[in-house]
Structure 1
Amino acid sequence: MSRRTSPSTERRYPLATICRFWACRGHPSIASACGKRRTTRARPGAAALRVSPATLAPHRPATRAAHPHDGTVATERVDQVWGTDMTETFSTSEGRAYVFVAVDHCSGEFTGIHAASGASRWEALEPIRQGVSRHFAR
């Protein structure tokens, strides 16, 4: 039977004892639990064994309070809320092009539009910059 050395006591234990202690099956679980860094080939009988769900980290879904959002974002005045979006298109002569837009949620008017060959955060901010300079410049 295979044996593993305990990192804390420096004693060698049989694989079955380690599996009972860690509540898992098979040596892939043991290798990960013991912090084994190198990848080795599984023994013929251990290849079919899988890690049990008990060895996974606990997961708690976040609880959310009731959200009064009805699915629409409409404002009472112009220039209160703008929305942005990006779409991608392809040209056979020039390749990919990314089109960014900013839209006013009250009037539905485009406040800015920008096309670029890359989709960085700076390219995404360009329609907002255009809208701010057009609507709020002095």
Structure 2
Amino acid sequence: MADATSPSTGRRYGVARVCHVWEVSRSSFYAAHQASAEEAGPRSSPARRGPKPAISDEDLLAAIRADLTRSPWTGEGHRKVWARLRTLDGVRVSRKRVLRLMRQHALLSPHRARTRPETSHERHIITEAPNIMWATDATQITTVADGKVWLFGVAEHWNAELLGWHVAKHGTRTEAIQALGMAVRQQFGHLGAGVARGLALRHDHGSNFMADVFQKQIRFWGMAPSYAFVREPETNGVIERLFRTLKEQAVHGRIFQTIEDVRDAVRAFVARYNAEWLIEKNGYRSPARMRAAWQEETFRRAA
């Protein structure tokens, strides 16, 4: 009746007018209409609105699964999958579409919710160029024969590159200097006085970093200490995040027999991390690719 046309006006009666005359609520009309439609059988779903995508959801999901299978890393999120599909496979799709498919098929990596309250510091510790600020810290790894061993690392704030590292039985000030010395030699070519002049070194208030021997050594190389806030490890977040990645990818789930096994694992991780690990602040490029692009741009401007 609602679809019928009035002979006097030539217009449809409409649902509202018919329900008003019959004193029936429109919700009852629509409920009865839906029940009759279900009895008539399932209706085909309407076609997807908008332009047809270049790749279907089924093909994109297959490409996502293939990328996760070939990746040597574990626990990666949708952003890195999206970036690799664009750069390696030429699949140019929306990042949110990759997120939707990975969420629907339980392919997202688990994540930890932030529990710490907001703090007052400015949270900007990324530099605009290399060799402006480095970060150093230490962590422990358990072995069967040698107990807990220490891993010292030095990271570049600019591109999160792991510049130097040292694994030792004891976490003393001299062992901390070994990792920093590796970074200095790698970046500047020698360990002479003032070789790293103007560079700031972010570190916490651990006794091995606050020791006079360590402080005198970094000043000999021309570095200035940059202290992280007490009980706020996020102010040394570059090296803290790098250590988290190292443990997730190379330590957790493994049993190390000796300190040499730890050294071998860290050595392999450093080579692969610097060359292949994609970082969002680098434009989803690895630390090595970020440095190569910066050097190319620097040489181009100088030419």
Q: TM-score if structure 2 supplies the norm length?
A: 0.23
